[in-house]
Amino acid sequence: MTYLGAARTSLFRFEYLQDFSATDSTLFAKWQKAGNIENDSDLQSWWDFLNQKHHEGVVTSRVRLVEFPISEYTSFELQIHRETARRGDDVRIITRDQFDKLAIPYTDFWIIDDVTVIGMRYGNHGKFEGLEKHMGNEDEYRVAKKKLIAHSVPIAQFPSSKPF
């Protein structure tokens, strides 16, 4: 979390992929068995990080692309995002039909302090493979952020139960 920890004013995340199960396999399996993520110790370090950033005055937000029918994995992730939103993160949802109209990069990324763009590389089933700092095209990602926020809805307005 070196890049994210350096944030002084804002953290923005766009989640394009629909399946990160290779990265979240343990937590996903626990959710499949229990049906909830309440008080999960695997998530506590992330929530502690968000609490610290909020205490420092950093605004945290994300937009999650959702495709229909909603997969089991996406249902799991939406539950996590609802809890994260309760903890102060501005979590928004954009559907595929809205996203396809935007003409923006088809990739997962972070924007730190509206300056630094970090692309995220994933393999099969969302297996995290690394980060790459984007240089020279930051404006494209700042425009993408504005479009994503403008065309998405707060997670509280997104239906909580969709069949997968």
Q: Evaluate if residue 8 carries a pLDDT over 90.
A: yes
Q: 116-138 in b/e burial notation, b at 16+ Cβ within 10 A?
A: bbbebebeeebeeeeeeebeeee
Q: CA torsion 101→105→107→109, rounded to 10°? A: -110
- Give 14's strand partners: 63, 109
Over the stretch 121-153, which tens digit does the pLDDT of each residue have? 888 878 888 889 988 889 999 999 999 999 999
Q: Give the pLDDT score at 62.
A: 97
- Looking at residue 131, its amino acid is L
Global pTM exceeds 0.75: yes
Over the stretch 13-71, which tens digit does the pLDDT of each residue have? 999 988 877 677 788 888 888 877 766 677 888 889 999 999 999 999 999 999 999 98
How far apart are the C-alpha atoms of 146 and 130, rounded to whole Å?
25
Which domains can be identified in the chain, with CATH numbers?
2-157 (3.30.870.10)
Over the stretch 63-109, which tens digit does the pLDDT of each residue have? 999 999 998 889 888 988 998 999 999 999 999 999 999 999 889 99
